[in-house]
Amino acid sequence: MMNPLNAPRLISSCHSPKSLIELIPNSKPFSRSPYGLRIYTTENMQVILEELLGQGFIPPSASPWAAPGVSAPKKDGKLRFCIHYRVFNKQTIRNFFRIPRTEDCIDKTQGSKIFSIIDSWSAYHQILVSEPDFSQTAFSTPSDHLEYVVVPFRLTIVSATFESLINSLLGLS
């Protein structure tokens, strides 16, 4: 199993946030039982979890936190794995990010010759969660209790953290 802490990174650790998750004072850990799933959704979830485990993104957890994991249908009929972080998000202090003006971004690219597209799926998984926050990203499935060591989707703070980091890397902030 690959360890994401030692993996080659597109986003260097000097740019990674020091603490990703801040909780509202006096927040208590919550644990929800996993939802009952049909066989075909459970099989789909296991394939995705095995891939994430193999990449080292989600080790087993002993955390008191547990958001339920579910499989949700996409528009094309395929299933995607989601974690129901709604209760956790209500206990999180949101970090807001001011989106830079388009004109400012264009001005900063004057003279540039090479441009790139950033794939946000792999980019999110380039950002490490700070070690004290690992347990707060925990989730449960009918067969496992796991936690993320890289930024998961569906946390309310992730978009602002990601935008802030990308702007920092591009010299826009």
- Reported as a single tens digit per residue, the pLDDT across 37-76 is 776 677 888 888 999 999 899 999 999 999 998 888 889 9
Rounded to whole angstroms, what are the CA distances from 77 to 41, 62, 73, 74, 80? 12, 34, 6, 5, 10
The two three-digit tokens of residue 105, written as one number: 């971004």
Task: Give the global pTM.
Answer: 0.77
| Residue 88 and residue 30 in contact, taking contact as beta carbons nearer than 8 Å | yes
Rounded Cα distance, 80 and 9, in Å: 25
Structural contact between residues 12 and 165, judged by C-beta atoms closer than 8 angstroms = no
pLDDT, tens digit, 9 for 90 and up, residues 91-145: 998 877 777 778 887 887 888 888 777 665 667 777 888 888 999 999 998 889 9
